[in-house]
Amino acid sequence: MRLLFDVDGVCCDLSTAVVNLVNDIHGTSFMRIDLKCWGYQEALGLSDADWQPVEASVSAPGFAEHLPPIHAAVSAIRRLSAQHDVAFVTCPWKTSPTWAWDRKRWLDRVFSGMAFDYVPTKSKALVSGHVFVDDKPSNVHEWLAENGRHKSGNVWGAFVLSQPWNRSNVLLPRIDALVELEEIVRRCAA
Ligand SMILES: [Mg+2]
């Protein structure tokens, strides 16, 4: 079976890196839990002028290559890859000219020795698979609308991975950690 995973907010901790960057630049003391809605600038209440240097740093070549992994998620994906095909479906940061390449290097290092496909795209719904996991509810909604309708026999499920910024969405299926997905996949495959 083919399992599709988003990267940022699923197995890569971009949010901590961005929050730390904001604190370093502006002397603030934001925490990851303060990200209560989608979009860093809006969630942290930053003006355009305050956001600009943060965006410039995130967009700098190499930034995406050195982000911290979410270790429990990496371990779960590694275990799942032993029996299933894994593809990472991730949208590059739009103002970074090297994000897609930096992200590939990050995946090669963090998932070294593991076979996977890598699909950098904003149009995640165009990528087909049996399971889709993302921390952005609109991505899960769009993926389900496209793949659930046309290929319902092949789709096991699409899930929002719980994060502080997606708690307000209660309509879509969600999981709190990828270990839950391991159990769901086990049951579906049985
Ligand atoms: Mg994400």
Ligand 1 geometric centre to CA of 68 (Å):
14
* Residue 148 contacts residue 125 (beta carbons within 8 Å): no
Tell which phi-psi region holds residue 47, choosing left (phi > 0), alpha (psi between -120 and 50) or beta.
Answer: beta
Q: What percent of the chain has pLDDT over 70?
A: 97
Residue 39 pLDDT > 70, yes or no? yes
pLDDT band at 49 (very low <50, low <70, confident <90, very high): very high
Residue 150 pLDDT > 60, yes or no? no
Residue 159 pLDDT > 80, yes or no? yes
pLDDT of residue 152: 53
Whether the model pTM is above 0.85? yes
Ligand 1 geometric centre to CA of 13 (Å):
9
Ligand 1 geometric centre to CA of 2 (Å):
19
Ligand 1 geometric centre to CA of 139 (Å):
9
pLDDT tens digits, one per residue of 13-22: 999 999 999 9
Ligand 1 geometric centre to CA of 9 (Å):
5
